[in-house]
Amino acid sequence: MARQYFGTDGIRGRINKAPMTAETALRLAIAAARTFAPEGCREVVIGRDTRRSGKMIEAALIAGLTSMGVKPVRLGVVPTPAVALITRETGAALGFMVSASHNKYEDNGLKLFSPEGVKFTDDVEEALEAAMAAAFEGDYAPPAAISEPAGMAGAGRRYIGRCLETIGKGQDFSRLKVVLDCAHGAGFETAPEALRRLGAQLTLIGAEPDGVNINAGVGSTATGALKAAVLETGADIGIALDGDADRLIVVDETGEEADGDQVMALIASEMHRTQRLKGGGMVATVMSNMGLDEYLKASDLSLARTKVGDRYVGEHMRQHGFNLGGEQSGHIILSDVSTTGDGLLAGLQVLAVLAARGGKASTLLRVFEPAPQKLVNIRYTGANPIESDRVKAALAEADALLGSRGRMVVRKSGTEPLIRVMAEALDAELMHRALALVADAVKAQA
């Protein structure tokens, strides 16, 4: 069934244009209340990031929830994983996060969490879409049952405490010089506070949100400022969060990026060494590098793959008993604590290893030799190019060319009008040839 609202990770788009309007938020709140809190009087928590339109969308959610007799609890500006955690720990009927993640301030979005603090399955989202279509046709709460919104003090501190518990007591980061880029986003208070409690020598960038500067030249998708700050300050390491702080990118002391695959490999090796890794390996998406797979095999560990989206990674983890998973883009799930990607939580694991082992981050974060891999994003208008005969033929030719020595991943973005074409091979020339075959075909149809 074609979706009107939900993409790869909730609802997202340009604010005040379908699907990302106040009406959408109102419909979603009413539909979700009818579906998940039909008895009324249950609480629903709402967090948001720092973008200007967040309060507007939050207000629409509150209007819909209160009209159904459900009590909204505002968490204020908090990371997405904090919403998931507090939803689970308080027994709330639902959790809403108002954020467009790494997108600029002109966009916004909505992420939902179940009472267990996990993102909903495709089936549930399709049911919600049907309920949203009929949102204004059903009954509302009687006047006496209309609820009163509330706020929750200390939501950020509660989240910080859970993150710090994962690295144990007595941790001392006072010898570490860390540059932290908060993307002017949801983690601008919680992440610095966590590192200050551990004594890190902290340089902050991207920690002065004004409603429109979220992800503007800072954060996990714009790491130039972080790299420059690491080199200028002589820092040991740099960490960049995205707008809702559910992902990270790490930069070593030379200013080079270590992607999510290297970070996951480091965390996996440390958890395996300390006998904390469950499931006999970890979970990643089809985008993760072949080198990660080979590295884990050398330690008799497995790599399970899912389609792109940290909610699919999380589903597989829960179904098969893994406690580590994530995406190459930096969404990393440590499910002993968090049910979703968590930039601060993952960053603390890296810093704890660096503090314990010493040495250089550039050495620590070169866990495996990556296979040559390249991703091309191609913007399109009109019909999905992947469905064209030309692209299908090019993909078949590329697969035949690569054989067992590489792979192609071609997919439509769930959040933007982009086709993502990724090629990977043990040989760089082979990888480039396969990539050109498919990318040229997609561009011709875009």
* pLDDT for the residue numbered 228: 98
- Tally of helices (H runs) and strands (E runs) in the chain: 14, 19
* pLDDT for the residue numbered 38: 74
Predicted TM-score of the model (pTM): 0.90
Sheet containing strand 237-241, edge to edge, reads: 201-205, 177-181, 237-241, 248-252, 257-258
pLDDT, tens digit, for every residue of 27-86?
Answer: 999 999 999 887 666 899 999 999 999 999 999 999 999 999 999 999 999 999 999 999
pLDDT, tens digit, for every residue of 361-395?
Answer: 999 999 999 999 999 999 999 889 999 999 999 99
The identity of residue 271, as a single letter, is M
3-state secondary structure (DSSP) of residue 175? coil
* pLDDT for the residue numbered 40: 60
Percent of the chain with pLDDT over 70: 99
Pick the catalytic residue from 53, 67, 99, 101: 101
pLDDT, tens digit, for every residue of 147-201?
Answer: 999 999 999 999 999 999 999 888 999 999 999 999 999 999 999 999 999 999 9
Please give the average per-residue pLDDT across 351-358, as a whole number: 96
pLDDT, tens digit, for every residue of 108-156?
Answer: 999 999 999 999 999 999 999 999 999 999 899 999 999 999 999 999 9
The CATH class of 174-364 is: alpha beta
3-state secondary structure (DSSP) of residue 324? strand
Active site residue 220: no
Q: CA 278, CA 98: separation in Å to the nearest integer? A: 32
Q: Does domain 373-445 have CATH number 3.30.310.50?
A: yes
* pLDDT for the residue numbered 34: 92
Please give the average per-residue pLDDT across 1-7, as a whole number: 80
Q: CA 207, CA 185: separation in Å to the nearest integer? A: 7
Q: Do domains 6-154 and 174-364 have the same CATH topology?
A: yes
Q: CA 181, CA 191: separation in Å to the nearest integer? A: 9
Please give the average per-residue pLDDT across 321-332, as a whole number: 96
Task: Kindly state the helix (H) or strand (E) to which residue 424 belongs, with its residue range.
Answer: strand 418-425
Please give the average per-residue pLDDT across 319-323, as a whole number: 97
* pLDDT for the residue numbered 414: 73
Segments making up each domain of the chain, as ranges: 6-154, 174-364, 373-445
The more confident residue out of 316 and 2 is 316
The CATH class of 6-154 is: alpha beta
- Other beta carbons within 10 angstroms of residue 154's beta carbon come to 10
pLDDT(354) > 90: yes
Q: Is 382 exposed, middle or buried (0-12, 13-18, 19+ CB in 10 A)?
A: exposed
**Structural contact between residues 72 and 129, judged by C-beta atoms closer than 8 angstroms:** no
* pLDDT for the residue numbered 41: 61
pLDDT, tens digit, for every residue of 266-277?
Answer: 999 999 999 999
Q: 392 vs 94, 435, 441, CA distance in Å?
A: 41, 14, 9
